[in-house]
Amino acid sequence: MAGNTGNVKVKIDNVRKVFNGRSGEMIALNGVSLDIKENEFVCVVGPSGCGKSTLLNIIAGLGEPTSGKVYVDDKEVVGPGTERGVVFQQYALFPWLTVRKNVEFGLKLKGLKKDEVSKICDKYIKMVDLEEFADSYPKELSGGMKQRVAIARAYAVSPEVLLMDEPFGALDAQTRTQLQSDLLDTWQKERKTCFFITHDVDEAIILAQRVVIMSARPGRIKEIVNIDIPYPRTQETKMSKEFLDLKNYIWGQVYQEYLEVRR
């Protein structure tokens, strides 16, 4: 199993995060430890407010843990870095730049030569099948297309770790399914370590080698479930007994947490 061998790429070591709000201290994360192996695909599920996004921000270097540390390749994370790409739920495309310029943004900052920049950019625009829209502005694209641009932009700077914060959460079911299978295709071609946050248990099982279930208040890891369904996974996979059993089990665990939060 790819998930159980290989080097540790991302090490989350006893991370705790406390926010000081008006209503006092809020413990967003407490004692979160997780090793993510090289090229592994890990999905995180859990109720809203369990600190999933906070954890992703900390790995991305966009937020600091109150205590504990995150290491990528044994190096402590102290800020954002291009070896960690992020795809946000709200797409976060620069609306004043065309699709091409969005994808080139990070490449130009790397100080690559002009022809190299456009070569790499072409490659990733082709990967997400948006050649026709290379010179369009984000406002001219649908939600699914915008997210494909964001994925191309994240891939273009060739990160080793991809962090995705509910990237398909705002899309309709059909587009979501399409993007899931595109993402799996890409992941199988260009292996990267993926850390993927979602609300959707189906999505987590179809994508991940391991599903991390989180508890809320304070956010911590409740359970880690291995998904031993072989790739390539297709829509038929979702009909298999294996898939349905896992779905029942994980959904049950997550649902308990929802009830906890509502209480």
Pairing state of beta strands 193-197 and 41-45? parallel
Helix (H) or strand (E) holding 181: helix 173-189
Q: Please pick, from the candidates 23, 24, 132, 139, the single residue that binds another protein as defined by CB under 8 A.
A: 139
Of positions 18, 26, 27, 92, contacts another protein by CB under 8 A: 92
Lookup: tokens for 230 = 């072989």
Q: Classify residue 224 as left (phi > 0), alpha (psi -120 to 50) or beta.
A: beta
Contact of 38 with 52, CB cutoff 8 Å: no
Q: Is 123 in the site for another protein (CB under 8 A)?
A: no
Among the listed residues 7, 14, 33, 90, the single contact to another protein using CB under 8 A: 90
Q: Which residues pair with 19 in a beta bridge?
A: 26
**Nearest CB to another protein, comparing residues 9 and 220:** 9
**Binding test (CB under 8 A) with another protein, winner from 3, 31, 68, 81:** 81
Q: Tell me: does residue 62 bind another protein (CB under 8 A).
A: yes
* Enclosing H/E stretch for 12: strand 8-21
Euclidean distance between CA atoms 209 and 196, whole angstroms: 11
**Cβ of residue 247: shortest distance to another protein, in angstroms?**
31
Question: Is residue 138 near another protein by the rule CB under 8 A?
Answer: yes
User: Is 249 near another protein (CB under 8 A)?
Assistant: no
Closest separation in Å from C-beta 81 to another protein: 8
Which C-beta is closer to another protein: that of 52 or that of 84?
84
Interface residue with another protein, options 110, 114, 119, 123 (CB under 8 A): 110
Helix axes 143-156, 173-189, angle to 10 degrees: 20
47 belongs to the binding site for another protein (CB under 8 A): no
Residue 203 to residue 201: CA distance in whole angstroms: 5
Structural contact between residues 216 and 47, judged by C-beta atoms closer than 8 angstroms: yes
- Using DSSP's 3-state secondary structure scheme, residue 141 falls into coil
Q: Does residue 120 belong to the site contacting another protein (CB under 8 A)? A: no
Print the binding letters for residues 153-182 with another protein: x by CB under 8 A, - otherwise: x---x-------------------------
Tell me the window of 2-10, 20-28, 84-92, 227-235 that interacts with another protein (CB under 8 A): 84-92
106 binds another protein (CB under 8 A): yes
Nearer to another protein, 47 or 85 (CB): 85
**Which CB sits closer to another protein, 58 or 254?**
58
207 burial level (CB within 10 Å; 0-12, 13-18, 19+): buried
Report how many helices (DSSP H) and strands (DSSP E) the chain contains, helices first.
Answer: 7, 10
